[in-house]
Amino acid sequence: MNHLHGIVRSNRSMLLFLGLFALIAVATQLSGVPLMQRIVTVMMINLILVLGLQVFMGNSGFLSFVHIGFMGIGAYTSALLAMPVRAKSAALPTLYPFLADIQLPFLPAVLLAALVAALVAAIFGYPLMRLSESAAAIASFAMLVIIHVVLSQWSAVTNGPRTLFGVLRYTDLMTAAMWALVIIAVAYLFKRSTLGLKLRASRDNIHAAYSLGINVVVVRWIAFVISAAICGLAGALWAHFITSFAPGAFYLAQTFVVLTMLIVGGPRTVSGAVVGVLAVTAVHEGLRHVENTLNTSGSLPFQVVGLTEVLLAAALIVMLAVRPGGLIQSGEAGSPKARTVPPQQSAHVAAEEAS
Amino acid sequence: MQTFLQFILNALSLGSIYALMALGLVIVFGILRLVNFAYGELIMVAGYAWFALQGPGWPWVLLAVGAVIAAGVVSVLTERVAFRPVRSDSLNAMLVTSFAVSTLLQNSALLLVSPRARAVEVPSVLNNSIEFGGLRLGVNDLVTIVVCGAVLLALGALLRRTTLGIALRAAADDFRMLRLLGVRADKVIATAFAISGVLAGVVGVLWITRIGAVTPTVGAAPLLIALIAVVVGGMNGLAGSIVGGYLLGTLTVGLQLFLPQEVLAFRDAFIFAVVIIVLVLRPQGLVKGRYSAERVA
Amino acid sequence: MLAINGLQVRYGAIVAVRDLSLSVAEGELVALVGANGAGKSTTMAAIAGVVKPSTGTITFLGQSLRGRSSEAIAGLGVALIPEDRGIFPSLTVEQNLRLGAYLRRGQKDLGKDFASVYRRFPILAERAKQGAGTLSGGEQQQLAIGRALLSRPKLLMLDEPSLGLSPTMVDRMFELIDELHRDGTTILLVEQNVRRTLEIVDRAYLLTNGRLTASGTPEQLRREVDIAGAYMGGRAAAAGDISEGRTG
């Protein structure tokens, strides 16, 4: 009993959010409002994406633009693997035979999608991990462009820049929510793992981390691969929810939304990432509702386009100026004591806890 | 021989635009270590300013000047409103801010103008070409080469002769020392953004008149081009970015000529792969500038 | 002219300077001496506004310097020549000097001051059009001092001016500082070369591990540190330097 109490105590923040999101999922399901269900499903998928990004960005301190590219890789991989053979030959007549003839069930397709995204990240990401902060950010941006070009030009596999139709709908609110809960736990556990600790030590003081014998490049790389897998998974889930999409979905606009969620919430903490998703989704949907109402009411002589993004971008700029660390900056929300470790000390803390 | 000369002329023309694009990006990067993702939107601003001014039949020069001023003003405004508050925070905060500014400006154009392309009136003389010894010289290309050359010379004089220009170069060397000499950081940074905006404006006018239309996303391609040129040329020197620009212009024209059509679709992927390779193998760029890791607080 | 009271500077968890009080009067040449890491450079950086103190007051000509930016402090007439000299390598020697006179742009007597800097440092006149990055260490130090003088500082702060110079250049550097002092310039000097420093200064402060451990005229300091050294087995490496006359 005491033991159980201890587990609850040390995981209070994680359990809090697991409970909260389970509650949101069940409540939405019971409400039976299709629009709500749709919004919450997308929110769950965005949550997975943001957490995937947080695993790398939050713990390493590196900015990454490429992760939406991994989402795209996951989406196309899973779509191709799980599409019925007949639909596939209609949508992609020039597809390679070995891909054209297979049809996997949902779960293996999704897992393979995560694996493919992880593989791409592992192979092409390794050299990036050795770069300095700003060079790595630019390189990750270059990588996003490359993935985008390949997705939109490799017509045999992706139908080029055009929309790919005929993906089966497997993802519903409950699947998305279940995966989101799993990934919440993964993000918390990763942050607290030896690996996460080493990575955070390298973020706070790179020299100290090296002097403690931490192989910073490898640690960073592993986190990058794990986070790519999570984003690939999110892409796969999204593909089987939306069922028809084009490469443009995995580019700058989506990157902006996901980065906003993470930065507004606070990239250094898992609870920050989670709160960021909730807050931005609420604002985003609210604004979109206003925009739609304006457009359908006909009270304005022109169509309102881009208002949501304008206000969201303005909010992000204000947020960065006023509270650059995000809503939840250091201590995890709901933890027994939200203790903050000064940068100079955390390397030692990591060393002690890692040894 | 004629094909070769034609090739040189095209490469020179495209290269000069690319060089100016790169220069506008690197002048801010040199001081703040910031890759300004909103740079492409300054080019867009110039395009829309041209579009807004073109009605009453004013002389072309006036439209061009108006467009350049608009880009410069917006650039300085973004510095004052968005970048200054986050300057002392992490590099990532600045990068994300620039991403947000880019989104804000792009969607403002969507909201205030239209998602659809707007045609700009281009002086008809630009579409003419001069036959010269079997060579077809587009007036457009000639104007581009001359304008870019003039801008490069003017900028060179500004940076070499004026006190503020010298301070700007000093800031890229050692910003802390510059402030110890009593030079206000805000002023130097605002100047850098002003120059960056003006360069974006000139590029915008040349670019938009080439395309003949302006859209909210018209700045995306120039931003990517500038980014590549800067990385390849070297991020720590103004000369490097100019070299990078001309190199990239030549490469683009060359690939267009020699690459088969089906591979050409992947051209940008190849070019960005080169970017990553350069970053990994030669982070200082092909043209070595002075190393300075210091940022401004 | 300059008064510091209860100054404390921290770098994260490390306290670099604690409870430091000192003063410099107009026309004085005052030195901060002490071992590596004693907090001398940090003190200067705090005066110049490069680092922000956590507690304490710094007043210059009756005005508080705390919370002011380094450019504003420079505007009040405080010039710091940092340990790395802060030469702009991509500029020419002349352009470096021009930035030294930045605060006096457009003043009439500037030409005269340029001439006097070139007279004092003929090598700078010779190399005026050369890139400053090509200068030797000693030449760079001369450039740094010449540049600082062009701002006509009310207080000149030099951080380890003799560092990394050849023995002859070190001699010239101390002569030069002495000369500037005689000309009436108020100078705060940080040096590890304690023996040479005590030969030219009016007063000195000894810092050990961020604390003030002794102060006074060179004679007082030599005597006091000698006694303290005899009784306490030496306070620090720098204290040993003073009593034994070693150069650091």
Q: Is residue B26 part of a domain?
A: yes
Q: What is the pLDDT of residue C228?
A: 53
B100 touching chain A per CB within 8 A: yes
Lowest mean pLDDT among A228-237, A317-326, B12-21, B38-47: A317-326
| 3-class state of residue C215 by DSSP | strand
Q: Is residue A222 part of a domain?
A: yes
- C48, C75, C88 ranked by CB distance to B173: nearest: C88
* Nearest-CA distance B157 → chain A (Å): 30
Contact A127 B280 (CB under 8 A): yes
Cα–Cα distance for residue pair B30/B171, rounded to 1 Å = 8
Q: Find which of A293-302, B2-11, B254-263, C38-47 is predicted with most confidence, using mean pLDDT.
A: C38-47
Cα–Cα distance for residue pair C205/C223, rounded to 1 Å = 14
| CA distance to A354, B20, B234, per residue, from B199 (Å) | 52, 6, 19
Single out the residue of A159, A155, A129 nearest to residue A143, CA to CA.
A129
Q: Is residue B295 part of a domain?
A: no
A83: tokens are 């599409």
Q: Collect all residues of chain A within an 8 Å Cβ-Cβ radius of residue C12.
A: 342-344
Contact C103 B177 (CB under 8 A): no
Domain count, chain A: 1
Residue-averaged pLDDT of chain B: 87
Contact C14 A344 (CB under 8 A): yes
Contact C70 B173 (CB under 8 A): no
Q: Is residue A323 part of a domain?
A: no
Instruction: Show the domain range for A184.
Output: 2-250
Cα–Cα distance for residue pair A36/A193, rounded to 1 Å = 36
pLDDT tens sequence across B176-189: 999 999 999 999 99
Q: Is residue A106 part of a domain?
A: yes
Q: What is the pLDDT of residue A304?
A: 81
Cα–Cα distance for residue pair A153/B266, rounded to 1 Å = 7
Single out the residue of C99, C96, C171, C102 nearest to residue C135, CA to CA.
C96
pLDDT tens sequence across C56-94: 999 999 999 998 999 999 999 999 999 999 999 999 999
B128: tokens are 């003419």
Cα–Cα distance for residue pair B114/A103, rounded to 1 Å = 43
The enclosing domain of B39 has a CATH number of: 1.10.3470
Contact B182 C103 (CB under 8 A): yes
Q: Is residue B186 part of a domain?
A: yes
Q: Is residue A50 part of a domain?
A: yes
Q: Is residue A97 part of a domain?
A: yes
- A131, A142, A324 ranked by CB distance to B283: nearest: A131
The b-or-e profile of C9-38 (16+ CB within 10 A means b, else e) is: bbeeeebbbbebebebeeebbbbbbbbeeb
Torsion of CA C239, C241, C247, C248, to 10 degrees: -50
Q: What is the pLDDT of residue A339?
A: 42
CA–centroid distance for C213 within its chain: 19
CB atoms within 10 A of CB C105: 10
Q: Is residue B286 part of a domain?
A: no
Q: Is residue B171 part of a domain?
A: yes
Q: What is the DSSP letter of A245?
A: B
Residue B241: burial class (beta carbons within 10 Å; 0-12, 13-18, 19+): buried
Question: In order of start, what are the domains of chain C with their CATH numbers?
Answer: 2-77+153-244 (3.40.50.300), 87-152 (no CATH)
The complex's ipTM works out to 0.89
Q: What sign results for the dihedral spanned by CA atoms A164, A167, A169, A170?
A: negative
Q: Which residues of chain A have pLDDT under 70?
A: 1-2, 336-355
- B93, B103, B268 ranked by CB distance to A145: nearest: B268
The count of CB pairs under 8 A between chains A and C is: 7
Q: Is residue B150 part of a domain?
A: yes
Q: Collect all residues of chain B within an 8 Å Cβ-Cβ radius of residue C91.
A: 166, 169-170, 173
Residue in A288, A308, A317 to test binding to B, most B beta-carbons within 10 Å: A317
Sequence length of chain B is 297
Q: Is residue A273 part of a domain?
A: no
Domain count, chain B: 1
Q: Which helix (H) or strand (E) holds B36?
A: none
C71 touching chain B per CB within 8 A: yes
Q: Is residue B73 part of a domain?
A: yes
Interface residues of chain B, partner chain C, Cβ below 8 Å: 163, 166-167, 169-170, 172-174, 176-185, 290
From chain C residues 3-32, the ones with a CB under 8 A of any chain A CB are: 12-14
Q: What is the pLDDT of residue A2?
A: 67
Sequence length of chain A is 355
* Nearest-CA distance B273 → chain A (Å): 7
pLDDT tens sequence across B133-184: 777 778 888 999 999 999 999 999 999 999 999 999 999 889 999 999 999 9
A206 touching chain B per CB within 8 A: no
| 3-class state of residue C248 by DSSP | coil
Q: Which helix (H) or strand (E) holds A253?
A: helix A252-265
The count of CB pairs under 8 A between chains B and C is: 72
Pairing type for strands C211-216 and C55-60 reads: unpaired
* Nearest-CA distance B116 → chain A (Å): 11
| 3-class state of residue C155 by DSSP | strand
SS3 for C14-34, per residue? EEEEEEEEEEECCCCEEEEEE
- B107, B266, B269 ranked by CB distance to A309: nearest: B107
Q: Collect all residues of chain B within an 8 Å Cβ-Cβ radius of residue A305.
A: 110-111, 115
Cα–Cα distance for residue pair C150/A32, rounded to 1 Å = 78
The enclosing domain of A202 has a CATH number of: 1.10.3470
Task: Write out chain C's pLDDT in tens, 248 residues.
Answer: 999 999 999 887 788 999 999 999 999 999 999 888 788 999 999 999 999 999 999 999 999 999 899 999 999 999 999 999 999 999 999 999 999 999 988 888 899 999 999 999 999 999 999 999 999 999 999 999 999 999 999 999 999 999 889 999 999 999 999 999 999 999 999 988 888 899 999 999 998 888 898 899 999 888 877 655 544 434 444 444 554 444 43
Which residue is listed with tokens 């997975």? A48
pLDDT tens sequence across B195-217: 999 999 999 999 999 899 999 99
CA-based R_g, chain C, Å? 18
Single out the residue of C103, C165, C176 nearest to residue C140, CA to CA.
C165
B32-45 average pLDDT score: 93
CB A277 within 8 A of CB A47: yes
Cα–Cα distance for residue pair B216/B110, rounded to 1 Å = 6
